[in-house]
Chain A
Amino acid sequence: MMETENHRNEKQDKPTSPSRRDFIWKMAVGGGAAILFGKVGDKLLLASENTKQTREYLMVHVDYSKCTGCRTCESVCSSFNHRQVVNRESLLGLGNPFYSNIRVHSYNPDLDIPAVCALCPDAPCIRSCPVELDLKTGRKALYRDEKTGTLRNDPNRCIGCGSCQEACKIQRTDVIVLGPDHKPERICTLCDGDPQCVKYCPFNALSFAKVVPEREFYGLHPDIISKKLINRWYNTRE
């Protein structure tokens, strides 16, 4: 976390170079991970507060033992959230997983970890957003939709610094992707209260339920979850 902060101070206006980001990431997963995740085992250590309200929100949960990696979730998410205008009518898109907000990370040995926004109570993404609070709304560029608990970005205020993406990547599930304008994209919308990934998962691996930060693997990066599960299921050292 220290590194994220430092980094932001250094290069407030410029996007991070990939090599720099990779370096930070490797630090976090390697040595740094011990600091971030080491003592809490499979549970996430939250930075703060605000958990009471967040517990009332619903999110997409994954049962990793059931996921087969078919990526139907990615496709239906992309269709719903990346719509296509045909003859002036907004229709479901054709579902290229590139545009999906839920993304399956596949590993060897066979293990598939769908990563989706955890609606983190302490929202490191928002905390890392350097845009000042708007006095009227009380929001930074990145803010929480109070009704659903999902994260939203105000593109008019966003300066495209990429801090949110980095914060999520290093501290949490790594779901934020920066778009062509370097502004955050692909954050779970919960599909107007009916998450399509949950609805269409052929293996019932996904469920729509209350946020439980104490839940095993909650908010962890797929690489970290995979290391633990590969070790548990395949009994090999990774």
Chain B
Amino acid sequence: MRNQVFGYHGRLLDINLSTGKYSSTTIPSDDTEKFLGGRGLGMKILWDRLRQPGINPLSPQNPLMFMPGPYSGFPIPAASRTCVVTKSPCTSPVHSDYPYASTVSYSNIGGFFGPEIRFAGYDGIVITGKASSPVYIVIEDEKVEIRDAKKFWGMGTDLFDRQFIEELGDRRFQTCCIGPAGENLVSYACIIHTASRAAGRGVGCVMGSKNLKAITLKGSKMPNVADHKRFLSLLEDSRKGIKEVLHSPGFSLLNYFIIKGTASYLSWSSENDQMTVNNFRDTTFPDIGKIGLEAVQKDIWFRESACYCCPVACKKGGAVKKGVYAGVVHDAPEYETGTMFGANLRVSDIEGITKVIFEGDDYGMDIISAGNVIGFLMEAYEKEYIDKAFLDGIDLRWGDVNAARKMVAKIGKREGIGDLAGKGVKAISKKIGRNSDKFAIQVKGLELAAWNVYKNIGMGISYATSNRGACHQNGENVEVQNFRAMLDSLGICRFITYHSNSDVPGSGKNGLGSLLSAITGIEWTTEKLTEAGERIFNLEKLFNYREGFRREDDTLPERFFTEPVKSGPLKGKMLKKEEFDKLLDEYYQVRGWNPKTSEPGKPRLQKLGLLPT
């Protein structure tokens, strides 16, 4: 009898778009025990399949992986996430022997896609190769079909979302797709699910390079659990525990902020000098009242949407009801989109922001990167590094939402200036030259997000040490980073863990293991889980190190060390390079990495089981 692995199907769906062939591949149980699933298992597969550094991320060889975790598919509150893992098309090191050197990319997306992968009978989908013309993939349990997508090529994600489901004739399908940005290989293109949920940070570009418009699936299966009764009882506790947190008068980030959507951070961030404004030169936005939570609530949103089995519903949708943009129907601005297309560009027109967010999502581009790129171009234009002709005649002034919209369209189509702008700030500043890299706000080639660092050096460490380039979700220290790498590998949403009832199964800090133990039949303690997180983080680092990423790449844009904040309560303040370097030294020490090179040390790798035996 086959040795049964509980909590997993134990197989991947492997699709090669060059040959049109697919197969089901067995996942070694050792891999799931060490790397869980999601981001971790995706990293392990990437490591196994890309055996050499310097492989072009846009080559057919680069696998694009959709990876749910061992929680996914079970009705655990907010176990809705899936990770898209691939080699990044956005990043590059300062020095490397390989022209196509880049980091790993992992991008976490909510909704229903991850659970449905598990319903279809897989623990992940691995796509390699490149189709000779645009295609989409339909998966229904064992049945896999690759179909012609020519008629959908060029279509925005919103229209696609509406038309594709009609084509399929069944609303039970769950779909991930790319928009024109992905098709046109904008380096920071997204993968979009349900027309508004996005896996950002470049994974859509890899999907575009494979000529893959969409992947859609549904299924009738479910992995077995090891201890059925224990699982049911913990599941009940999990639901009750979260209900208590959500209805408790006590404070938690979950019941205070997240439940109102991340737009609730807009005002808080500006009031606490942590916001990305004016291409990162400022930390507060004078017009925050016009784009903050109250404005969003009043003017835009009126619908709440939840991901699979989530009792929170942080996604707030709505429509523009008045003015020139009346009729725009989309997600209301949330923290990242509202800041990057709002405060960062000094745009205070909430209706215009909603419009440009819609357009960014419709083209399928990462709004963090797009807002950062446009902010950079606005600053370069202000400082006359570039002129109107360089921008194809766009008068790209601060606060002008229409100018921003024109840029978004140029980028999405890779037309004129959009061809260069679609490659990210690192590439643009290289082209512009004249030390414009000082205000190109990126790490390793990936753009920083809506949390500024002047007041929060911890966020600086998060950006600098993230394995996918500047990432605000990475975590400000080793412990947090390991914990989050583990969460991304379980398939649970990080937001649901934002409370302090630590024993709640499935979301409390000490409640994650019990549920996983019941599912897998392997006893998972909190320590063992965070060790898995550490292992995952280290394998990512090993991958990056092999590509040529060193300590010199783990840094912040020069602006934060040399240019004081322009205005507001933080005026005149900047980060101290020595302080940052000291924190980084400590960071490497805790990691067990060489402080000079950032190379992971053998003793730690040995302990984590990452050395060949």
Contacts and interface: CB of A to CB of B under 8 A. Distances in A.
17 contacts: A69-B306, A72-B75, A72-B309, A72-B311, A75-B309, A84-B228, A94-B222, A94-B225, A98-B219, A106-B171, A108-B158, A110-B303, A111-B303, A202-B243, A202-B306, A202-B310, A235-B327
Interface string B70-105: 000111010000000000000000000000000000
B248 interface: no
B321 interface: yes
A235 B321 contact: yes
B169 interface: yes
Main DSSP-derived SS at the A contact region: mixed
Interface in A112-171: 112
B477 interface: no
Interface in B298-333: 302-311, 313, 315, 317, 319, 321, 327, 329-331
Contacts, number: 97
A236 B329 contact: yes
Nearest to A105: B171
Nearest to B304: A68
Interface of B: 73-75, 77, 112, 119, 158, 161-162, 169, 171-172, 194-196, 218-222, 224-225, 228-229, 231-232, 239, 243, 302-311, 313, 315, 317, 319, 321, 327, 329-331
A109 B354 CA distance: 14
A34 interface: no
A101 B221 CA distance: 16
A79 B239 CA distance: 15
Interface string A84-98: 101000011111111
A214 interface: no
B75 A79 contact: yes
4 smallest A-B Cβ distances: which pairs?
A: A202-B311, A70-B306, A75-B75, A68-B306
B142 to A, nearest CB: 14
Given A68-B313, A108-B194, A91 B228 contact: yes
A96 B317 contact: no
A28 B112 CA distance: 30
A203 B161 CA distance: 26
A22 B161 contact: no
Contacts of A72: 75, 309, 311
A26 B131 CA distance: 34
Given A72-B75, A109-B329, A234-B319, 11 more contacts: A68-B304, A70-B310, A72-B309, A94-B222, A94-B224, A96-B219, A108-B162, A110-B194, A110-B315, A203-B304, A235-B321
B105 to A, nearest CB: 27
A202 B247 CA distance: 11
A76 interface: yes
Contacts of B196: 110
Interface in A61-86: 68-72, 75-76, 79, 84, 86
Given A110-B317, A233-B303, A234-B319, A91 B220 contact: no
A105 B172 CA distance: 8
B329 A96 contact: no
A70 B307 contact: yes
B308 A71 contact: yes
B610 to A, nearest CB: 33
Interface of A: 22, 68-72, 75-76, 79, 84, 86, 91-99, 103, 105-106, 108-112, 200, 202-203, 233-236
A70 B303 contact: no
Nearest to A82: B222
A108 B319 contact: no
A125 B225 CA distance: 37
A110 B194 CA distance: 9
B112 A108 contact: no
A56 to B, nearest CB: 32
A90 to B, nearest CB: 11
A91 B317 CA distance: 38
Contacts of B161: 108
Contacts of A106: 171, 194
Contact of B75 (A76, A105, A111): A76
Nearest to B319: A234
A96 B309 CA distance: 11
A109 B301 CA distance: 12
A70 B309 contact: yes
B317 A70 contact: no
Contacts of B331: 110
A69 B80 CA distance: 13
Contact of A98 (B119, B194, B304): B119
A68 B302 contact: no
A203 B309 CA distance: 11
Contacts of A86: 228-229
A121 B224 CA distance: 40
Nearest to A85: B228
B319 A69 contact: no
Contacts of B309: 70-72, 75
Q: With a 10 A CB-CB cut-off, give which of A75, A97, A203 has the most chain B CB atoms.
A: A97
Contacts of B330: 109
A91 B229 contact: yes
Q: With a 10 A CB-CB cut-off, give which of B221, B222, B315 has the most chain A CB atoms.
A: B222
Given A68-B304, A69-B305, A234 B232 contact: no
Contacts of A75: 75, 309
Contacts of A91: 228-229, 232
A68 B313 CA distance: 7
A200 B329 contact: no
A116 B405 CA distance: 43
Contacts of A110: 194, 196, 303, 305, 315, 317, 331
A236 B327 contact: yes
A25 to B, nearest CB: 9
Q: With a 10 A CB-CB cut-off, give which of A96, A99, A203 has the most chain B CB atoms.
A: A96
B311 A109 contact: no
A68 to B, nearest CB: 4
Nearest to A18: B169
A103 B171 CA distance: 10
Contacts of B311: 70, 72, 202-203
A100 to B, nearest CB: 10
B118 to A, nearest CB: 9
Contacts of A111: 303
Contacts of A112: 305
A108 to B, nearest CB: 5
A94 to B, nearest CB: 5
A12 B219 CA distance: 30
A88 to B, nearest CB: 12
B157 to A, nearest CB: 10
Contacts of B232: 91-92
Q: With a 10 A CB-CB cut-off, give which of B75, B112, B221, B311 has the most chain A CB atoms.
A: B75
